[in-house]
């Protein structure tokens, strides 16, 4: 009893073209960017869901944005990070995990 589904490429293309034309026409009439607006809303939604990914990226960015003197080596930078992460146990743990992951990646 299941109806056989047939996909039509010309039908799909026509639909996309009509959709694009409708969007452009609405944008011209109303002056609002529909697709951008929708993408912004969808993006914000995903941002809320994928908060852990964003926290991880922020941790990586924090390390990247630590200023490094031209004549300093990695031990100076580590010491600087160590001093600045005093009383911040969870962040320190994240930094350690990042360093370990980096070392394992280098070994591999």
Partner 1 sequence: MVGLNALSKFFRKTIGPRIEALGLLPHRYYLHRALDALEQDNIDEAVRMLTLAGNDKKDSRWRLICQQVIFRCRVLAAQHEKQLRRFETEMEIFGKPAELVGTYLRLQNAEERAQDILRSYESSLLNQLSSSKSAPGRAD
Binding site for partner 1 (CB under 8 A): 26, 30, 32-34, 37-38, 40-41, 44, 47-48, 51-52, 54-55, 58-59, 61-62, 65-67, 80, 84-85, 87-91, 94
Give the nearer residue to partner 1 in terms of CB position, either 37 or 102.
Answer: 37
Q: What is the DSSP string of the chain?
A: -PPPP---HHHHHHHHHHHHHHHHHHHHHH---HHHHHHHHHHHHHHHHTHHHHHHHHHHHHHHTS---TT--HHHHHHHHHHHTTT-HHHHHHHHHHHHHHHHHHH-
What minimum distance in Å lies between the beta carbon of 100 and partner 1?
17
Give the nearer residue to partner 1 in terms of CB position, either 73 or 87.
Answer: 87
What minimum distance in Å lies between the beta carbon of 10 and partner 1?
25
What minimum distance in Å lies between the beta carbon of 6 and partner 1?
29
């Amino acid at each position: 009893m299941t109806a056989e589904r047939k996909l039509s490429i010309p039908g799909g293309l026509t639909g996309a073209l009509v959709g694009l034309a409708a969007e452009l026409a609405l944008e011209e009439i109303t002056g609002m960017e529909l697709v951008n607006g929708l993408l912004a809303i969808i993006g914000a939604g995903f941002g809320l869901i994928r908060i852990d990914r964003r926290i991880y990226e922020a941790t990586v960015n924090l390390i990247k944005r630590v200023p490094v003197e031209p004549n300093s080596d990695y031990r100076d930078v580590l010491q600087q990070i160590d001093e600045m992460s005093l009383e911040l146990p969870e962040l320190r743990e994240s930094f350690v995990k990042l360093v370990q992951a980096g070392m394992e990646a280098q070994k591999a």
